[in-house]
A and B are shown apart, each in its own frame.
Chain A
Amino acid sequence: MDTLSYLGQGFGVALSPYNLVTALSGTLIGTVVGLLPGLGPINGVALLIPIAFALGLPPESALILLAAVYLGCEYGGRISSILLNIPGEASTVMTTLDGYPMARQGLAGVALSLSAWSSFIGAFIATCGMVLFAPLLAKWAIAFGPAEYFVLMVFAIVALGGMAGDKPLKTFIAALIGLFLSAVGIDANSGVYRFTGDSVHLADGIQFVVLVLGLFSVSEILLLLEKTHHGHEAVKATGRMLFNFKEAASVFVVNVRCGLLGFIMGVLPGAGATLASAVAYMTEKRIAGETGKFGKGDARGLAAPETAIGASCCGALVPMLTLGVPGSGTTAVMIGALTLYNITPGPLLFEQQPDIVWGLIASLFIANIMLVILNIPMIRIFTRILAVPNWALVPVIAIITAIGVYAVHATTFDLFLMVGIGIMGYILRKLDFPLSPILLGFILGGLMEQNLRRALSISNGELGILWSSPISMGVWVLVFCMLTLPLLRIWRKRSLQRRAMADA
């Protein structure tokens, strides 16, 4: 019953006119950002951090704004997938498979509204799951000591490599780069300046916003130079805009199944929306079997990944809010934003600042409803945004990125640092390194070091404390499983290849 009264309190926060306007503008900005090529949820959320701070938004409104932008970006990504056959971001690749064929058959409006509806159901299921499980997890997590936290963070990092699959080594290296970068600056415990090269600007470390915008915006600007984008011709969204009852009913089972799946995948660190949508699509394709027209415009093939994306986005907020351990790049950015407000997400957040937590959960419900309502009448305007050519878009992205970076500290040093990080990010991308592990490592690094040192202080330097409690032992076992997962996968691939060679 407690949970329900807290939720009611949360709706009280989220339904205040001020926060409603915040959520509405967040969803609008998010949708446009998600729509534009080269800007995804990570950039969208990161760009808004300094703005939210400058506007003097109270922490709960700022968090609502960022969450609304996050959801909006995921929504916006689908529009270009369905109408242009160009996935706005990695997670919407699966949406193009059946969404674009549907649009080609003159069902563009139906596809768009049906995907919005699916995503809404997914988010709804996940938000319900969050209401049920997050307080339990938070209650359990209070028992965590520094040693358990340290092991948990090791697990989060390792899970990234284990789940991401195809390039575990590069994922680990990227995460380690992030973990290392978090050590730059003054060491809080001893006052030693680390890796600052006697520069005043680096004394309090690399600014989070600078790192994010450098890695993602600047490197994307450089990547866009290669792609010759001649204003793609979008499929016209004409005719019936709204799906009918029959269509909604035909995908409802798929919605529920993929919603649950997406929620679980979202909660697990490292899995995230990309993997959730792929697994959901593949599972539904197998379940449908011969009867499905998957890949040729099957409504189920559109609903499955969209539901999973919607669910996993909300699911990813669970570990962030309860444990303070982000599971994806975007939630890492949100933790970065919260630390600007001096709020440390974690189990105590539920007790000390219920307004923030439950206000956020309630605003997720509201933002999802807003997105469904917005999507239908605004589609025409959104499709027009898709026609903006790169030459007009890129300079504006560059200028806004610079504003975002400058707003943090008002020094040009940060701008130079951003360009440097951007070049590094571009090279890493060219060499096929994933970038979001760097971000996660950067956020987790500081926490990880603090917890490690605290744990070892408690035990007076005895390393045994790291695996003394049953919780930490359990997590170590999970870490070990995650480490062997990619090896197992490589081994299986090799043996399959060998068999194929033997057959040939």
Chain B
Amino acid sequence: MAPAMPVFAGKPAPTEPASNEDFLMILQRIFALALLAVCAALAVMAWPYQAAFSYEPVGPRAYPLLMLGLMSLGLLYLAIRPTPIVRKDDEPELDRETLIKIAACVGLLIIFAGTFEALGFILSAILVGVPMARLYGGRWLHSSLVVVGMSLLLYWLFDRVMDVPLPLGLLSVLEN
């Protein structure tokens, strides 16, 4: 029981990490229960799956239900007895700042998906890439240079050289 030792040694116990670990345990329980609810919903969804004509004894319903059932058993056990999470040394704690950053990054990715066809590949890549580079600590000028250059290069490389069609979107006026 090495982690508990400092407490007995009379040193002030590092409360932050301990509470973070508890938090992760609770999070794990919540996650297991949420996934369990999803499993149940999917099982309800799968219930009416019946083949109109069947030539085989096992229909389309059995396999998904079997998987969902086994998964539920595992999740139930996990919800009751969550396993401790071993954190790697280089992994910092999740604080508010990182969570905001992650939310921003997810938002950028969603914007990318949304504008990919409408704006076209080059413009949407620039629109999303520059703020993303900023998010990872790049300076405005450097980020813009790298991202603009890379999106043009990648467009040329994939669309022209490698025959992967990419949408031009707004820029299609320039092409004729």
- State whether these chains interact: yes
Tell me the A residues contacting B by CB distance below 8 Å: 50-51, 54-56, 166-167, 169-170, 172-173, 176-177, 179-180, 183, 187, 189-192, 194-195, 218, 221-222, 224-228, 389-392, 394-396, 398-400, 402-403, 406-407, 410, 412, 415-416, 418-419, 422-423, 426-427, 430-432, 445, 448-449, 452-453, 456-457, 460-461, 501
Q: Is B7 part of the binding interface, using a Cβ–Cβ cutoff of 8 Å?
A: no
| B154 contacts the other chain (CB 8 A) | yes
The answer to whether B116 and A391 have CB atoms under 8 Å apart is no
- The minimal Cβ–Cβ distance linking A229 to chain B, given in whole angstroms, is 9
Interface contact B147-A395, CB-CB below 8 Å: yes
Contact B64 A453 (CB under 8 A): no
Count of inter-chain pairs, beta carbons less than 8 A: 191
- Distance of A189 Cα from B31 Cα, bound (Å): 34
Q: How far is B91's CA from A402's CA once the two chains are assembled, in angstroms?
A: 27
Q: Is the CB of A431 within 8 A of B59?
A: no
The proximity string for B residues 55-99 relative to A, scoring 1 for CB distances below 8 Å and 0 otherwise, is 111111001100110110011011000010110001110100010
Assess whether A398 is in contact with B137, with CB atoms less than 8 Å apart: no
Cβ-defined contact, A391 with B163, below 8 A: no
- Best-surrounded residue of A56, A227, A449 (most CB of chain B within 10 A): A449
Which 3 pairs from chain A and chain B are nearest by CB?
A391-B138, A461-B57, A190-B51
Interface residues as binary, B125-159 with A (CB distance below 8 Å gives 1, 0 otherwise): 10011101111111000110011001100100010
A90 CB → nearest B CB, Å: 11
Taken together as a complex, chains A and B put the C-alpha atoms of A63 and B95 apart, in Å, by 44
Interface residue? B174 (CB, 8 A) = no
Cα–Cα, bound, A179→B55 (Å) = 24
Nearest CB on A from B94, distance (A) = 8
A194 pairs with B64, CB closer than 8 A: yes
- Which chain B residue lies CB-closest to A230? B137
- Name the residue on B nearest A218 (C-beta): B109
How long is the Cα–Cα vector from A169 to B74 in the complex, in angstroms? 7
CB distance from B84 to the nearest CB of A (A): 9
Q: Are the C-beta atoms of A419 and B116 separated by less than 8 Å?
A: no
15 CB < 8 A contacts A-B: A166-B86, A173-B74, A222-B106, A225-B102, A226-B98, A391-B134, A391-B137, A392-B142, A399-B150, A403-B154, A407-B164, A431-B24, A431-B31, A432-B85, A445-B67
Interface of B (DSSP majority class) = helix
Contact partner of A169 among B1, B53, B78, B136, CB < 8 A? Answer: B78
Q: Which residues of chain A are within 8 angstroms of B63 by Cβ–Cβ distance? A: 183, 448-449, 452-453
B51 and chain A: residue at smallest CB distance: A190
Interface residues on B, range: 35 or more
Whether A395 pairs with B129 at a CB distance below 8 angstroms is yes
Chain A CB count within 10 A is highest, among B1, B24, B42, B132, for B132
| B86 close to A432 (CB less than 8 A) | yes
Residues of chain A with a CB closer than 8 A to B151's CB? 399
Does chain A have a CB within 8 A of B19?
no
Q: Are B109 and A419 interface neighbours, CB within 8 A?
A: yes
B85 to chain A: which residues have CB within 8 Å? 431-432
Q: Give the contacting residue for A402; candidates B55, B56, B116; CB below 8 A.
A: B116
Known: A183-B67, A419-B110, A432-B83. A399 touches B162 (CB 8 A): no
Q: How far is it, in angstroms, between the C-alpha of A210 and the C-alpha of B113 when the chains are bound?
A: 13
14 further A-B contacts with Cβ under 8 Å, apart from A55-B162, A187-B60, are A55-B163, A172-B70, A191-B51, A194-B46, A227-B92, A394-B136, A398-B129, A403-B154, A406-B116, A415-B113, A418-B113, A426-B102, A456-B57, A457-B58
Contacts of B91 in A (CB 8 A): 226-227
Q: A195–B42 contact, CB under 8 A?
A: yes
Residue of B nearest to A190 (CB): B51
Inter-chain contact A461/B58, CB cutoff 8 Å = yes
B137:A192 contact, CB within 8 angstroms: no
Whether A176 contacts B71 by the Cβ 8 Å rule is yes
Q: Given A225-B135, A407-B164, A461-B58, A398–B109 Cβ distance below 8 Å?
A: yes
Bound complex: CA A55 to CA B163 (Å)? 6
Task: Name B159's closest neighbour in chain A (CB-CB).
Answer: A403
B142 surroundings in chain A (CB, below 8 A): 391-392
A453→B105 CA distance, assembly (Å): 43
User: Could you tell me the distance in whole angstroms from the C-beta of B173 to the nearest C-beta in chain A?
Assistant: 21
Contact A460–B67 (Cβ < 8 Å) = no
On whether A170 and B137 interact (CB within 8 A), knowing A183-B64, A190-B54, A195-B45, the answer reads no
Q: Which of A177, A192, A410, A448 has the most CB atoms of chain B within a 10 A radius of its CB?
A: A192
A416 neighbours in B (Cβ, 8 Å): 110, 113-114
- Flag whether B101 is at the interface (Cβ < 8 A): yes
Residues of B within 8 A of A452 (CB): 58, 63
Question: B152 to chain A: closest CB distance in Å?
Answer: 11
What's the Cα separation between A191 and B138 when bound, in Å?
51
Shortest distance in angstroms between A97's beta carbon and chain B's nearest beta carbon? 15
Given A403-B164, A431-B85, are A176 and B60 neighbors across the interface (CB < 8 Å)? no
Tell me whether A180 and B154 are in contact in the complex, defined as CB-CB below 8 angstroms, given that A189-B56, A194-B49 are known contacts. Answer: no
- C-alpha gap A410/B166 in the complex (Å): 8
Distance between Cα atoms of A190 and B137 in the complex (Å): 53
Task: Identify the interface centre among A224, A227, A398: most chain B CB within 10 Å of its CB.
Answer: A398
- Residues of B within 8 Å of A228, CB to CB, are 92, 137
Question: Nearest CB to that of A460 among chain B residues?
Answer: B57
* B10: interface (CB < 8 Å): no
Q: Are A423 and B106 in contact (CB under 8 A)?
A: yes
Residues of B11-62 at the interface with A, using a CB-CB cut-off of 8 Å, are 24, 27-28, 31, 42, 45-46, 49-60
Known: A170-B78, A192-B60, A225-B102. A427 touches B31 (CB 8 A): yes
Complex CA gap A448/B94 in Å reads 39
Partner of B27, one of A187, A398, A431, A456: A431
A391 touches B143 (CB 8 A): yes
Give the chain A neighbours of B136 by CB distance below 8 A.
Answer: 224-225, 389-391, 394-395
Shortest A499–chain B CB gap in Å is 13
B3: Cβ under 8 A from any A Cβ: no
